[in-house]
C-alpha cells in the first residue's frame, strides 16, 4: 500500500495553532519571556539605584583636594536611610551623619539659581561641619565649633583665596539667626565670606561647607540643611579624568584618565 505524501500543511497549521510563525520566527511566548527578563533587570537596577548605591559625578572644584572635577563616585544611599522617590519620606538607615563626614544631599532652595535657568535644589556633596545644637562662627577663614578652632587638614593648601571681606546679598539670611551676644562675641552686622556667626544649628539640621572654602557655595550662602535632605555618603572613585577645559588632549575622558584616582576612598 503506497504511503501518502506530506503536503506540509499540517505542520504549518500546528505552528499557527501554537501562536508561532513558520520559517524560524519568534513566538509570542519567547517575546513575553524576553520582555519579562528586561523588565526584571530594569526593576532591579532601579531598586539598587534608589535604595542602595548610586553613581555621582563631581561637577565643580568646591571639594578640592578630597574630590576633583571629573571624579565619578559610588554613593552609599543605605547608610543614612534611602529617600523614597516622589515623597518627603526617608527610610531608616543604619547610621546618622557625623561631624567630618562627606555627605551627598539635596540643597535647600536657592532662589538666585532660578533666573539663570539652573536647578534651585541641586544634589550637592559637601563636608558636614556643624551638628544640631552646635554654635558655629568663622573668623579670618578659621571655622569654630563650640569655641574650638577646626583643623584645616581637609582644605586645599593651594586654593586661590578670594577677598575674605567679600559680602553678598546671599549672606543676608544670617542676620536673622546671628546671636546678638554670646560668650564668643556677637555676630557681625554684615556677614562676610570669612567672618560670620555665631549662630546655633537648629534641631534636625546640619551646616555644610566645601573643603575648597574660597570656591564653595555652601551653607554660608543658602543656610542649614534639613536631615530629610540627606541622600547618602560617597564611597570611592570608580572613574576619573581631567575635564576637557583643563586638558590639552583630545577626548580627555579617554586619553587623560587619572588612573591613580580610581579606587580612591573618600574621607
**Which active-site residues does the annotation give?**
62, 126
| Beta pairing partners, 125 | 104
Instruction: Give me 165's grid cell.
Output: 571681606
Instruction: Give me 121's grid cell.
Output: 535644589
Phi–psi pair at 31, nearest 5 degrees: -60, -45
CA gap 261, 76 in Å, rounded: 19
Instruction: Give which of 115, 124, 6 is closest to 60, Cα–Cα.
Output: 124
Instruction: Give which of 172, 144, 154, 139 is closest to 216, Cα–Cα.
Output: 154
Residue pair 196/175 in contact (Cβ under 8 Å)? The answer is no
Q: How many CB atoms lie within 10 A of CB 182?
A: 16
Give every CB contact of residue 194 below 8 A, 6+ residues apart in sequence.
Answer: 138, 139, 140, 141, 164, 165
Phi–psi pair at 219, nearest 5 degrees: -60, -25
Residue with cell 519571556: 33
Instruction: Give me 208's grid cell.
Output: 555644610
Residue with cell 527578563: 37
Phi–psi pair at 251, nearest 5 degrees: 50, 60
Regarding beta strands 71-76 and 53-57, do their DSSP bridges make them parallel or antiparallel, or are they unpaired? Answer: antiparallel
Amino acid at each position: 500500500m503506497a504511503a501518502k505524501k506530506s503536503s506540509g500543511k499540517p505542520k504549518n497549521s500546528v505552528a499557527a495553532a501554537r501562536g508561532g510563525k513558520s520559517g524560524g520566527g519568534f513566538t509570542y511566548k519567547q517575546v513575553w519571556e524576553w520582555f519579562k527578563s528586561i523588565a526584571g533587570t530594569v526593576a532591579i537596577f532601579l531598586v539598587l539605584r534608589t535604595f542602595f548605591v548610586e553613581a555621582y559625578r563631581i561637577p565643580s572644584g568646591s571639594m578640592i583636594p578630597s574630590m576633583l572635577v571629573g571624579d565619578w563616585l559610588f554613593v552609599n544611599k543605605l547608610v543614612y536611610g534611602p529617600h523614597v522617590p516622589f515623597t518627603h519620606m526617608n527610610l531608616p538607615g543604619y547610621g546618622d551623619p557625623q561631624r567630618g563626614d562627606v555627605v551627598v544631599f539635596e540643597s535647600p532652595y536657592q532662589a538666585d539659581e532660578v533666573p539663570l535657568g539652573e536647578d534651585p535644589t541641586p544634589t550637592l556633596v559637601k563636608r558636614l561641619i556643624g551638628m544640631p545644637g552646635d554654635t558655629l562662627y568663622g573668623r579670618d577663614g578659621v571655622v569654630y565649633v563650640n569655641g574650638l578652632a577646626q583643623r584645616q587638614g581637609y582644605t586645599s593648601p593651594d586654593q586661590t583665596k578670594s577677598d575674605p571681606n567679600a559680602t553678598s546679598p546671599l549672606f543676608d539670611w544670617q542676620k536673622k539667626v546671628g546671636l546678638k551676644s554670646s560668650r564668643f562675641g556677637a555676630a557681625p552686622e554684615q556677614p562676610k565670606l570669612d567672618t560670620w556667626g555665631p549662630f546655633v544649628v537648629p534641631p534636625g539640621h546640619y551646616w555644610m561647607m566645601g573643603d575648597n572654602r574660597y570656591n564653595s557655595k555652601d551653607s554660608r550662602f543658602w543656610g542649614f540643611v534639613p536631615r530629610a535632605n540627606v541622600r547618602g555618603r560617597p564611597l570611592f572613585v570608580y572613574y576619573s579624568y581631567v575635564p576637557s577645559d583643563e586638558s590639552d588632549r583630545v577626548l580627555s575622558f579617554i586619553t587623560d584618565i587619572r588612573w591613580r584616582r580610581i579606587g580612591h576612598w573618600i574621607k
